[in-house]
């Protein structure tokens, strides 16, 4: 193979498609050195990308809001066809089409044994947990590319049962790598159940996936808050109530208009550390959403927090926020006996069941999040439009396999 076209970060606000080396069945040198093992990865496969999606988490890096270096490869939402199989891979074969959890997990450590695959202990020297194409996540190459290496394939890959059916439903199935399980995890973590009233902060793709998941879980009313009119319209397109946070109106009052009281049973933060205050033209205030969800959640409620918070933000509004220290009203959450659930979604806890819903034609997540297909060379345009607030989830189709 001559090369591997891959999306890379080239500086704040900028990405490019560059030709890198074709992947090999090897783990990153930094991981091998840290563990004291060989780089050889007979447990791995090479995938030909069928689809790979642009994520809001990628945008944090591209905006220069993380410590990502120039040249960081991008892409952790991966669906692909197996084209090369390592000698120790027993249960996957060439031609299989599979979803890849964005969490890289060894399947052998204590955390993996407990189902906590988002914080695997053997894949990242910097901290527990790793991901493809992400800063400080172990040096694993990104999947916004033509080809990608997937380690510990027997553990990590979710094979679709039927190739033709998978390709027919690929725009839904591509969401299994991250945002559908992540949104679902946010709703589950918030305790959403039959008859719940739910507030979801943020109408980006993860917020829309959380809102859609809350409906699947039986919520009576799902309210989505954002300042982007187009994204709020997308939430209404599948039956959500919405609140416009740019209006300057009280969030509690707007919640009361929707459910008859100024609080909800469950709340999800799908915004994260780049949150803004309320009102048109409001500036960045990273604790806004966390304080909002505490203020409008009933006593004893759970708060699902799939929105990303970081330990290093060079573009933060103040020195404390540059180190992940933000003005959260923890006393309010303590007084209301709230339960907080944070961190990476453990995708493998959910992806097979959500796949079954899609294949049974009972979940249409692509429509809910505004899935839009683009080519690999169009990735820079997709990043720019997504950053400008497009109510779309951009799905990259590197090989023209999406009908």
pLDDT digits (tens, 9 = 90+) for 148-179: 999 999 999 999 999 999 999 999 999 999 99
Mean pLDDT to the nearest integer, 285-291 = 97
Give the pLDDT confidence score for residue 316 in this predicted structure: 94
Sort residue 379 into left (φ over 0), alpha (ψ -120 to 50) or beta. Answer: alpha
**227-279 pLDDT per residue, tens:** 999 999 999 999 999 999 999 999 999 999 999 999 999 999 999 999 999 99
Asked if 186 and 206 count as a contact pair (C-beta separation under 8 A), the reply is: yes
Beta bridge mates, 40:
26
Q: Model confidence at 384, in pLDDT bands (50, 70, 90)?
A: very high
Tokens 């120039």 belong to 70
Question: What is the Cα–Cα distance from 208 to 369, expressed in whole angstroms?
Answer: 6
Spatial separation of the C-alpha atoms in residues 53 and 76, rounded to whole Å:
8
Q: So what's the pLDDT on residue 92?
A: 98
Q: In a 3-state reduction of DSSP, which class is residue 14?
A: strand
Report residue 326 as tokens.
Answer: 């933000």
Residue 375 has pLDDT above 60, yes or no: yes
**Span 70-120, pLDDT tens digits:** 999 999 999 999 999 999 999 999 999 999 999 999 999 999 999 999 999
- CA dihedral sign, ordered 225, 229, 235, 237: positive
Token representation of residue 109: 């450590």
- Which 3 state secondary structure label does DSSP give 222? strand
Rg of the chain taking only CA atoms, in angstroms: 20
**Containing H/E element for 173?**
helix 170-173
What rounded mean pLDDT belongs to the chain? Answer: 97
Q: Give the tokens for residue 308.
A: 């990303």
Q: What is the pTM of this model?
A: 0.97
pLDDT > 80? residue 2: no
Q: Does the pLDDT of residue 35 top 90, yes or no? A: yes
* Residue 403 banded pLDDT, cuts 50, 70, 90: confident
User: Tell me: the pLDDT tens digits for 299-349?
Assistant: 999 999 999 999 999 999 999 999 999 999 999 999 999 999 999 999 999
Mean pLDDT, rounded, for 131-141 = 97
Confidence check: pLDDT of 57 > 60? yes
**Six-digit token pair at 78?**
């991966």
3-state secondary structure 302-370: EEEECCCCCCCCCCCCCCCHHHCCCCCCHHHHHHCCCEEEECCCCHHHCHHHHHHHHHCCCCCHHHHHC
Strand pairing class (371-374; 264-269): unpaired
pLDDT at site 246: 95
Q: What is the pLDDT of residue 99?
A: 98
The answer to whether residues 207 and 271 touch, using CB atoms and an 8 Å cutoff, is yes
Here the tokens at position 296 are 């409008």
Task: Check: CB of residue 291 under 8 Å from CB of residue 326.
Answer: no
**Count of C-beta atoms within a 10 Å radius of residue 84:** 17
CB 29 within 8 A of CB 41: no
Q: In this model, does residue 1 exceed pLDDT 70?
A: no
pLDDT tens-digit series, residues 179-232: 999 999 999 999 999 999 999 999 999 999 999 999 999 999 999 999 999 999
Q: List the beta bridge partners of residue 17.
A: 7
């Amino acid at each position: 193979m001559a090369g591997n076209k891959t999306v890379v970060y080239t500086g704040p606000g900028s990405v490019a498609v560059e030709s890198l080396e074709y992947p090999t069945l090897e783990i990153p040198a930094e991981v091998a050195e840290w563990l004291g093992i060989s780089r050889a990865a007979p447990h791995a496969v090479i995938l030909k990308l069928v689809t790979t999606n642009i994520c809001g988490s990628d945008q944090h890096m591209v905006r220069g809001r993380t410590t990502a270096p120039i040249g960081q490869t991008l892409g952790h939402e991966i669906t692909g066809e197996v084209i090369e199989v390592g000698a120790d891979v027993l249960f996957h074969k060439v031609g299989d089409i599979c979803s890849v959890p964005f969490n890289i997990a060894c399947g052998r450590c204590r955390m993996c044994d407990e189902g906590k695959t988002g914080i695997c202990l053997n894949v990242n020297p910097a901290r527990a947990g790793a991901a493809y194409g992400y800063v400080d996540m172990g040096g694993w190459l990104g999947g916004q590319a033509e080809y990608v290496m997937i380690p510990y394939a027997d553990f990590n890959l979710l094979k679709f049962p039927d190739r033709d059916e998978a390709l027919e439903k690929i725009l839904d199935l591509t969401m299994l790598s991250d945002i559908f399980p992540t949104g679902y995890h946010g709703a589950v973590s918030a305790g959403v159940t039959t008859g719940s009233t739910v507030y979801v902060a943020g109408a980006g793709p993860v917020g829309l996936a959380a809102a859609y998941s809350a409906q699947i879980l039986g919520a009576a009313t799902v309210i989505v808050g954002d300042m982007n009119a187009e994204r709020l319209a997308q939430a209404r397109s599948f039956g959500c109530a919405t609140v416009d946070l740019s209006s300057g109106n009280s969030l509690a009052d707007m919640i009361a208009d929707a459910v008859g009281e100024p609080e909800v049973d469950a709340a999800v933060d799908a915004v994260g550390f780049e949150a803004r205050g309320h009102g048109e033209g409001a500036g960045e205030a990273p604790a806004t959403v966390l304080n909002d969800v505490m203020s409008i959640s009933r006593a004893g409620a759970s708060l699902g927090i799939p929105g990303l918070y970081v330990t290093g933000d060079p573009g933060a509004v103040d020195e404390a926020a540059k180190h992940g220290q933000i003005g959260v009203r923890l006393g309010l959450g303590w007084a209301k006996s709230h339960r907080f659930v944070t961190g990476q979604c453990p995708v493998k806890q959910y992806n097979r069941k959500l796949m079954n819903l899609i294949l049974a034609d009972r979940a249409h997540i692509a429509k809910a999040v505004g899935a839009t297909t683009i080519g690999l060379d169009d990735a820079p345009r997709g990043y720019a439009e997504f950053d400008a607030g497009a109510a779309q989830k951009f799905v990259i189709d590197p090989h023209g396999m999406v009908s």
